Amino acid sequence: MKATAKYANKKILVLGLARSGVAAAKLLHQLGAFVTVNDTKKLDENPEAQELLASGMTVITGSHPIDLLDEGFSLIVKNPGIPYTNPILEKAMERKIPIITEVEIAYDVSEANIVGITGTNGKTTTTTMIAELLNSQRKVGEAKLAGNIGFPTSDVVLTATSNDTLVTELSSFQLMGIENFEPKIAVITNLFEAHLDYHGSREEYVKAKWAIQKNMTSEDYLVLNGNQEEVRQLAKITKARVLFFSTTTIEKEGAYLLNSNLYFKEEKIMNADELGVPGSHNVENALAAISVAKLMGISNEAIRSTLMRFSGVPHRTEYIGEFSNRKIYNDSKATNILATERALSGFENEKLILIAGGLDRGNGFDELLPSIANLKGLVAIGETADKLVATAEKANVKHVKKASNMDEAVNCAWKISEEKDVILLSPACASWDQYKNFEIRGEAFIKAVKQIVSREDK
């Protein structure tokens, strides 16, 4: 970790805990800042806050009191999930107190170069692919996963050296809070409409994503999705060197799909069918990852063998296994319609039973009609179950069922299925109606599958 006096003896407010807030508070404390932590969860229910209090920080819990700003903070480090419309942040902006996210602090002290990955869909898969590719031939140092993938960057930088690379997944929320952050290579997987409840408009959402490149120079590389005209137009206004990846056009200076083969700068890397994860969206993810790997000197042979072995990431079209000649996939992280459409593109509808549903945000599911047409089965769960049943009936899904919980849903799907079929959990909805997060929902799915398999084996 690089030494810096930037935060020493400064009064800094860390607003909101969770993993990234705890990591930021600890790092700032180590850098000599006078840290105050403020979290809405009460102290007696907040072990993270208790730990920080015991280490000598000021801790205020239970609410975000606006008069806390009278303490004279020179900086606020906010949890990415707290919107700028929060009253304490609105007042802070009035007072012109700088507001950043923890990736900015991590960048200031990182000895390692950073590869940053953002986008609407495919971030986690692409980030993980890149890390595995960069480690495939590495003799010195390590490509370390960081950021929105579950490893706060402020934690990872503590042990990262100049021999390492931080492969960092970045959300739009995090990118709104950067000032000097500059990845040496950045990837934007794609741009679609998302998180409008937070950003207010598509324009503001795209602006937040595009911030990943705002400090990049002609010494840096920006890897972009050439399938999207909007992205091609944005590429005209960056100082970074742009490489496109595309499944629809030949990118002679980038990565592309041609005759079912993946290429980089006219060199064939591998056949698309050799990828360890299914779906056209994963072809795009692989092309983005290949672009980064080639920029960093990874051989074609190492790329091919690594991507052939790559089996996905937990809860993102994760291959659980084959049981009683049925293949099972967990895509619990598909919390929107687009993500589910992409997952469905990797399978034959006539042999697929889909489990979907969750939090009702008021939208319908007619966008799914082309993707679920003639599915073998759909089992609907959660608050949106009735809407999904109606959509499935319009799409001529052969078997349509409704289930009250995951155990019942998996049992229904299993009864519908036959040998050589696929059962896929891809909800197209957030999990919060029944589960705290998509990970817990995915684990419930896996547990229910294992219970059936155990019963079948008896």
Show me where the domains of the chain are located.
11-100, 103-309, 318-457
Please tell me the predicted confidence (pLDDT) of residue 82: 93
In the chain the first and final C-alpha atoms are separated, in Å, by 55
Least confidently predicted of 16-20, 23-27, 141-145, 226-230: 16-20
- Residue spans of beta strands (DSSP E) within 28-162: 34-39, 58-61, 75-78, 99-100, 113-118, 143-147
Over residues 135-140, the mean pLDDT reads 94
For a pLDDT cut of 70, what percent of the chain falls above it? 100
Asked if residue 393 has pLDDT above 70, the reply is yes
pLDDT band at 277 (very low <50, low <70, confident <90, very high): confident
Phi, psi of 443 (to 5 degrees): -65, -35
Over residues 386-402, the mean pLDDT reads 97
Residues in binding site for ATP: 119-125
Asked if residue 193 has pLDDT above 90, the reply is no
CB 448 within 8 A of CB 428: no
**Number of residues written out for the chain:** 458
The SS3 assignment for 48 reads: helix
Asked if residue 197 has pLDDT above 80, the reply is no
Superfamily of domain 103-309: Mur-like, catalytic domain (3.40.1190.10)
Asked if residue 65 has pLDDT above 90, the reply is yes
Asked if residue 200 has pLDDT above 90, the reply is no
| Distance from the Cα of residue 282 to its chain's centroid | 14
Over residues 403-430, the mean pLDDT reads 97
**Mean pLDDT, the chain, as a whole number?**
95
For a pLDDT cut of 90, what percent of the chain falls above it? 88
CB 99 within 8 A of CB 177: yes
- 204-220 pLDDT per residue, tens: 999 999 999 999 999 99
Does 11-100 match 103-309 in CATH topology?
no
The CATH number of the structural domain formed by 11-100 is 3.40.50.720
Residue with tokens 């290579």: 185
- Is the CA virtual torsion 42, 46, 51, 52 positive or negative? negative
pTM: 0.82
| Distance from the Cα of residue 292 to its chain's centroid | 18
Please tell me the predicted confidence (pLDDT) of residue 83: 92
pLDDT band at 241 (very low <50, low <70, confident <90, very high): very high
Q: Which CATH number fits domain 318-457: 3.10.20.30, 3.40.50.970, 3.40.190.10, 3.90.190.20?
A: 3.90.190.20
pLDDT band at 41 (very low <50, low <70, confident <90, very high): very high
pLDDT band at 458 (very low <50, low <70, confident <90, very high): low
- 310-332 pLDDT per residue, tens: 988 878 888 899 999 999 999 99
Please tell me the predicted confidence (pLDDT) of residue 184: 98
Contacts of 436 (CB under 8 A, 6+ apart): none
Asked if residue 338 has pLDDT above 70, the reply is yes
Residues in binding site: 119-125
Question: Largest Cα–Cα distance of the chain, in whole Å?
Answer: 68
